[in-house]
Amino acid sequence: MKTSNNTILITGGSAGIGLATAKAFLAKGNEVIITGRDAKRLEQAAAQLPGVHTIVSDVSSETAVDELVQTIRTKFPQLNVLINNAGYAVAYTITPGQETWKEAEKEMYTNYVSVVRLTEKLLPVLQQQAAAAVVNVTSIVAYAPGLHIPTYSASKAALNSYSKILRLSLKDTSIKVFELMPPLVNTDFSAGIGGANGIAPEVVANDLLNSMEQDVYNIHTGKTADIYELLKVSPTAALNAMNGVTA
């Protein structure tokens, strides 16, 4: 997949991995559209990203997604890359009586259902292009769940599964499906889960560009590669390694 001269929509592009990815793609001569819920944050991001287009849009709102798709159809009908990056995590431990299912429902909705919906709605646009791609941002925890982020891990495992089937379903079309699986990354998102020890978002963005160029569809950035190798040998060992548990 070429990484220049594309028109790319990045959900959640005003911070972290999305922002670094927008920067990297702009530097390679792509048209880039970023979304986010907070207009001010998008404005601040745009100040660092000359030429970027911004659209205020919440992936978890059906109305907002319909408006976004309409804007893409009219203003950017040449869109050929969708990067499903927006997502969040709620840190909690499984404790009886805490009604964590209420948060779980929202988390699954944003991280999984919203990705399925936006992808489905944009497939007709992507299908019109000679070469297109969908990039789903999942996580190392799709392979080995984290103790303090149970639903988040499950949402990324669901998206991992969906990405495989999407790839299979689109195998005879012009649309390639990539899955970006970062380990811990130092962003606002990860501040509450030890993110300061994570890798820089720029490392993730560069890995995505290089992998797309080489048509590497499962992108195991940094420590994700180690967990993946361990998983093939022993899922329990991978789970323990992920959570610092000694057998």
Ligand X SMILES: NC(=O)c1ccc[n+]([C@@H]2O[C@H](COP(=O)([O-])OP(=O)(O)OC[C@H]3O[C@@H](n4cnc5c(N)ncnc54)[C@H](OP(=O)(O)O)[C@@H]3O)[C@@H](O)[C@H]2O)c1
**Which residues in this chain contact ligand X in the complex, by CB under 6 A?**
11-18, 35-38, 41, 58-60, 85-88, 110, 137, 139, 182, 184-185, 187-190, 195, 198
Answer yes or no: are the C-beta atoms of 59 and 11 closer than 8 Å. yes
Residue with tokens 């702009």: 26
Residue with tokens 């998008």: 42
Q: Least Å distance between CB 5 and ligand X?
A: 25
Which of residues 11 and 119 has its CB atom nearest to ligand X in the complex?
A: 11
Which of residues 4 and 105 has its CB atom nearest to ligand X in the complex?
A: 105
Order of strands, sheet of 53-56, starting from the edge strand that comes earlier in the sequence: 53-56, 31-36, 7-10, 81-84, 132-137, 175-181, 218-220
Which of residues 150 and 182 has its CB atom nearest to ligand X in the complex?
A: 182
Q: Least Å distance between CB 97 and ligand X?
A: 27
Judged by DSSP in three states, 153 sits in: helix
Among the listed residues 112, 143, 152, 162, the single catalytic one is: 152
User: Which residues contact residue 237 at a Cβ distance below 8 angstroms, ignoring those fewer than 6 apart?
Assistant: 230, 247
Region of residue 29 (phi > 0: left; psi between -120 and 50: alpha; otherwise: beta): left
Q: Least Å distance between CB 141 and ligand X?
A: 7
Scanning 83-187, the segments in alpha helix (DSSP H) are 101-108, 114-127, 150-169
CA distance 212 to 238: 27
The CB density around residue 106, as the number of other CB atoms within 10 Å, is 13
Q: Is 152 a catalytic residue?
A: yes
Which of residues 13 and 145 has its CB atom nearest to ligand X in the complex?
A: 13
Which of residues 64 and 216 has its CB atom nearest to ligand X in the complex?
A: 64
Q: Least Å distance between CB 138 and ligand X?
A: 7
CA distance 139 to 155: 10
Q: Least Å distance between CB 125 and ligand X?
A: 19
Answer yes or no: are the C-beta atoms of 142 and 180 closer than 8 Å. no
Name the residues annotated as catalytic.
152
